[in-house]
């Protein structure tokens, strides 16, 4: 990069649009959108950082199965010159006693500006740096050219693509080896109509790309300029370059085709995104299959169509599967009948396989498969699936006894014992995603009660964040038992999630446990549930109770932050629509309020929301801020003292009216607050504390706690300890202090 030492600022040329495209072999469809976003964002961010594009310049990503591209508007051919203040050397080294430049300074300036060095002396600045006065050189650095800047941006974008596994391939010279997600075939870099001379992956940039493999007008497509890219690709290359536009067209065609048949396509955003990444010029066609296959559970048929064939199953308004489906084709033949017939033929084979598995599986009962679980290893440190089922059975029965007595315990135990039996069926072996779902179908075929069959499916719920919870009590018992067994077992052998690594989905298990306990308002104590689960393992694991408890409460903190902020957003919207947005009763729980409640580790998670609502109401009281600050002060005082030295409060040792007054108010308030707390009325329990403000303030204004006389000091500390206990039953009020 050249140095400008004459003080003149070089001007950028007029801006133009920039297009960069990398043409490759078919990219991984499930990663295409992420790859496209990264490629576009990295290039745009680098150009903006180098001053070649404005900070608000729009960057439009393009992505098809064979290309990654980005169009950036208002890109300069060269960045503006930048003033730079460069540190040279201490004044004592650079200038002699007469203020003239020393040889060392002249040599330094010469290296920067060549023969212009003497003329740069006026541009020197003297500034203090620590205790030393230092010389700085104020100069202009010539702006980077687009060719230099884009090369840097392109190199960085390719190096930072979120690719798990790279391919290694050789270039046409037979010697050069390249690593990239897929072999690359061409590189386009156009600034307006001009080619930007950059290189990547052994390719030199040009203006030549390729369209659709079969539908393009010509084999090679010569791009006119950066702005014509999208239009030329569609009209000449039969490629819709925009991922989002291609997805919208697929969605519109699916809707149009299904409406015509009075049906609706299955709603699956992940499938829609994957199919969008598989086609360049989509055309939606409709096929059908033999209605006799509808005797197979529709979950099996739907999964077969989606997972194996990338078809969109069609549903009736009731949600029942119809014997029709949509195909997203990458070609638009004049006669589509042969394409449809070919897809129907392939699907027929797939559905026949599913029907075979279903028919074969029903020849054996679920209960007859349980013994086979002894041959299936769950984890080498935790035993077989059969041993796991026995643990889930024990935990589920214990929970059932607590929630509904012996009848519920018996149903929960029956469902727990059969909960993993479908793992040995052919259908689940082919489609692991159907575990639990197929267990329910097979249980119903075996004549088991509906709630027991439902529990076999529901014990996996919620299957994902925001997913459905178990529908009835047996399912709730087994779902809790399954999650507790997984958490206790894995934590007990040291398999604790770290960073983004969670191979056994323990975060999801913990969140599912929390959601069931909170949303179903179950009167269960978390510490007892964990203790029961740990005990079931016996000597097989180390006791992970403390670590596991910490983990669950941290997930609870996350859950509360997300859940109630979402509820607040919905409620606020309703309030705005009703012109009552000023209603102060609707607001999200603050992090401080959540922290105050969770600091006490409430054993019943179903109480957490009631506690939060009480804390929120308390925080609005005029006395709240002062009491929170006082509580914090009391905590700090008590931390520094020996609790063993504190006995019960002795009123005969009071020496001031402030002590007597605080003691009297506590005697009056504490029973009322305790009674409300025991009744679960956390709101009343906290509200009663407002009466403490005046006597507490008076106490700290007039009483010295840490005096030399030990008996008086310990009595006053005991009074403060009673105050702290009274104030912190619902939540740790000190956490509300600023």
Express each pLDDT in 636-647 by its tens digit: 888 877 665 567
Q: Measured in Å, how far apart are the chain's first and last C-alpha atoms?
A: 52
Averaged pLDDT score across all residues of the chain: 89
When mean pLDDT is compared across 342-346, 561-565, 688-692, the lowest value belongs to 561-565
Q: Per-residue pLDDT averaged across 282-300, rounded? A: 96
Q: How far apart are CA 161 and CA 188, in angstroms?
A: 18
pLDDT tens-digit profile of 714-732? 888 888 888 888 889 999 9
When mean pLDDT is compared across 78-87, 332-341, 423-432, 540-549, the lowest value belongs to 78-87
Q: Per-residue pLDDT averaged across 598-621, rounded? A: 93
Residues in the chain, overall count: 738
Task: State both tokens at 152.
Answer: 């840097």
Instruction: Please report the DSSP string for 353-373 in residue order.
Output: HHHHHHHHHTTS-HHHHGGGG
Instruction: Please report the DSSP string for 97-161 in residue order.
Output: TTSPBPHHHHHHHHHHHGGGGGGGGGGEEEEEETTEEEEEEEEEEPPPBHHHHHHHHHHHHHHT-
184 near 201, Cβ under 8 Å? yes
pTM: 0.80
Alpha carbon 246 to its chain's center: 26
Question: Residue ranges of the alpha helices (H) in 327-472?
Answer: 337-361, 366-369, 385-418, 426-430, 437-445, 450-458
Residue 18 is given by DSSP the state E
Please state, as a whole number, how many other Cβ atoms lie within 10 Å of the Cβ of residue 184.
20
Q: Per-residue pLDDT averaged across 323-345, rounded? A: 93
Q: Range(s) for CATH 1.10.730.10 in the chain?
A: 616-736
Q: Report, at the CATH architecture level, how domain 368-561 is classified.
A: Orthogonal Bundle (1.10)
Who contacts 384 (Cβ-Cβ below 8 Å, separation ≥6)?
Answer: 373, 374, 375, 376, 377, 378
Who contacts 527 (Cβ-Cβ below 8 Å, separation ≥6)?
Answer: 545, 549, 603
Q: Report, at the CATH architecture level, how domain 616-736 is classified.
A: Orthogonal Bundle (1.10)
Q: Per-residue pLDDT averaged across 379-402, rounded? A: 97
331 near 280, Cβ under 8 Å? no
Q: How far apart are CA 325 and CA 309, in angstroms?
A: 11
425 near 357, Cβ under 8 Å? yes
Torsion from C-alpha of 356, 362, 368, 373, nearest 10 degrees: 40
Task: State both tokens at 308.
Answer: 């194996």
Q: Per-residue pLDDT averaged across 621-633, rounded? A: 89
Report the percent of the chain where pLDDT is more than 90.
Answer: 68
Task: State both tokens at 608.
Answer: 């957490």
Q: HSE of 39 in the Cβ direction (CA atoms, 13 Å)?
A: 23
Q: Per-residue pLDDT averaged across 563-571, rounded? A: 52
474 near 419, Cβ under 8 Å? no
Q: Specify the pLDDT at position 652.
A: 87
39 near 24, Cβ under 8 Å? no
Q: Range(s) for CATH 3.30.70 in the chain?
A: 16-79+145-235
Fold of 16-79+145-235: Alpha-Beta Plaits (3.30.70)
Torsion from C-alpha of 400, 406, 412, 418, nearest 10 degrees: 150
């Amino acid at each position: 990069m050249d140095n400008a030492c004459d003080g003149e600022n070089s001007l950028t040329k007029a801006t133009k649009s920039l297009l960069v495209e990398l043409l490759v072999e078919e990219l991984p469809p499930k990663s295409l959108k992420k790859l496209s976003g990264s490629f576009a964002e990295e290039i745009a961010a680098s150009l903006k950082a180098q001053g070649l594009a404005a900070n608000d310049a729009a960057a439009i990503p393009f992505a098809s199965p064979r290309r990654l591209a980005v169009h950036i508007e208002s890109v300069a051919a060269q960045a503006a010159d930048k003033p730079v203040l460069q540190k040279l050397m201490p004044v004592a080294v650079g200038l002699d006693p007469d203020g003239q430049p020393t040889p060392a300074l002249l040599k330094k300036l010469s290296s920067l500006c060549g023969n212009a060095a003497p003329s740069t002396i006026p541009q020197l600045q003297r500034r203090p740096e620590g205790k030393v006065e230092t010389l700085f050189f104020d100069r202009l650095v010539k702006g980077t050219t687009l060719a230099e800047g884009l090369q840097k941006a392109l190199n960085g974008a390719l190096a930072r693509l979120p690719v798990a596994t790279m391919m290694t391939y050789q270039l046409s010279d037979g010697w050069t080896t390249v690593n990239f997600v897929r072999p690359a075939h061409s590189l386009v870099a156009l600034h307006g109509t001009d080619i930007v001379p950059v290189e990547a992956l052994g390719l030199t940039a040009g203006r030549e790309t390729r369209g659709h493999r079969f539908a393009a007008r010509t084999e090679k497509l010569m791009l006119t300029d950066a702005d014509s890219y999208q239009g030329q690709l569609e009209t000449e290359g039969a490629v819709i370059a925009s991922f989002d536009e291609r997805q919208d067209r697929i969605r519109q065609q699916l809707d149009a085709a299904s409406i015509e048949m009075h049906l609706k396509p299955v709603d699956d955003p992940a499938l829609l995104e994957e199919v969008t990444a598989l086609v360049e010029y989509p055309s939606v066609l409709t096929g059908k299959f033999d209605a006799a296959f509808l005797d197979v559970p529709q979950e099996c048929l739907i999964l077969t169509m989606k997972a194996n064939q990338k078809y969109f199953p069609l549903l009736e308004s009731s949600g029942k599967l119809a014997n029709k489906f949509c195909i997203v084709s990458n070609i638009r033949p004049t006669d589509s009948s042969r394409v449809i017939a070919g897809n129907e033929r392939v699907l027929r084979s797939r559905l026949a396989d599913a029907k075979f598995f279903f028919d074969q599986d029903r020849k054996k009962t679920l209960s007859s498969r349980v013994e086979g679980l002894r041959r299936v290893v769950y984890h080498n440190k935790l035993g077989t699936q059969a041993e796991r089922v026995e643990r889930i059975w024990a935990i589920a029965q214990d929970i059932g006894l607590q929630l509904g007595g012996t009848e519920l315990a018996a149903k929960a135990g029956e469902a727990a014992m059969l909960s993993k039996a479908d793992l040995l069926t052919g259908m689940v072996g082919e489609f692991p995603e159907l575990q639990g779902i197929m267990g329910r179908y097979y249980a119903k075929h075996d004549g088991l009660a509906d709630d027991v069959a439902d529990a076999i499916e529901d014990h996996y719920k919620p299957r994902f964040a925001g997913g459905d919870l178990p529908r009835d009590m047996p399912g709730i018992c087994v779902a809790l038992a399954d999650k507790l067994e997984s958490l206790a077992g894995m934590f007990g052998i040291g398999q604790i999630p770290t960073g983004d690594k969670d191979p056994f989905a323990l975060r999801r298990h913990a969140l599912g446990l929390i959601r069931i306990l909170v949303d179903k308002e179950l009167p269960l104590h978390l510490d007892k549930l964990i203790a029961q689960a740990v005990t079931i393992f016996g000597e097989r694991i180390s006791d992970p109770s403390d670590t596991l408890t910490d983990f669950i409460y941290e997930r609870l903190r996350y859950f509360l932050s997300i859940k109630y902020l979402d509820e607040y957003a919905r409620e606020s919207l309703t309030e705005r629509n009703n012109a009552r947005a000023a209603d102060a009763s609707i607001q999200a729980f603050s992090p401080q309020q959540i922290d105050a409640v969770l600091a006490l580790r409430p054993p019943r998670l179903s109480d957490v929301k009631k506690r939060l609502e009480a804390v929120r109401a308390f925080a609005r009281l005029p006395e709240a801020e002062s009491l929170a600050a006082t509580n914090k002060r009391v905590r700090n005082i008590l931390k520094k003292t020996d609790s063993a030295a504190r006995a019960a409060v002795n009123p005969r040792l009071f020496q001031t009216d402030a002590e007597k007054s605080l003691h009297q108010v506590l005697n009056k308030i504490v029973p009322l607050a305790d009674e409300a707390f025991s009744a679960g009325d956390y709101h009343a329990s906290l509200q009663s504390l407002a009466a403490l403000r005046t006597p507490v303030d008076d106490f700290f204004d007039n009483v010295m706690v840490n005096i030399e006389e030990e008996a008086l000091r310990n009595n006053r500390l005991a009074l403060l300890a009673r105050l702290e206990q009274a104030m912190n039953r619902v939540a740790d009020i000190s956490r509300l202090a600023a």
